[in-house]
């Protein structure tokens, strides 16, 4: 990947906030893919999110649902940007991430699932 294409990947990613993520999940329009590590996900995650750790990231294994688009989430919005870039490099159409991630969700007192 060239510096220019990497810059385009980074700048064209849409930052979603907590309210947008909640609304889109309630409407069934997105699959929220949590790219934190398994122990982080098990300790607490956004209800309805699916685990796909960045350390074992395989864009081919991402969920495929023509009715819902993928939105990446992590702890604070850093790993989700990286996951989106990797998915795009593999030809996946991903344009959004949850910029505040799980830390924002938790701080707002939103419900959390624990495994």
Residues classed as catalytic: 74
What's the CA gap between 99 and 97, in Å, rounded? 6
Q: Distance between alpha carbon 45 and the CA centroid of its chain, in Å? A: 12
Scan for tokens 């993928």, then name that residue: 70
């Amino acid at each position: 990947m060239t510096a220019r294409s990497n810059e385009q990947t980074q700048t064209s990613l849409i930052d979603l906030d907590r309210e947008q993520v909640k609304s889109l999940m309630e409407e069934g329009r997105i699959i929220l893919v949590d790219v934190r590590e398994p122990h982080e996900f098990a300790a607490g995650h956004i209800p309805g999110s699916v685990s796909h750790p960045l350390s074992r990231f395989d864009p081919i294994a991402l969920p495929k649902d023509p009715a819902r688009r993928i939105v990446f989430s992590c702890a604070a919005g850093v790993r989700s940007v990286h996951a989106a870039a990797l998915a795009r490099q593999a030809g996946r159409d991903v344009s959004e991430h949850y910029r505040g991630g799980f830390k924002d969700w938790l701080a707002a007192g939103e419900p959390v699932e624990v495994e």
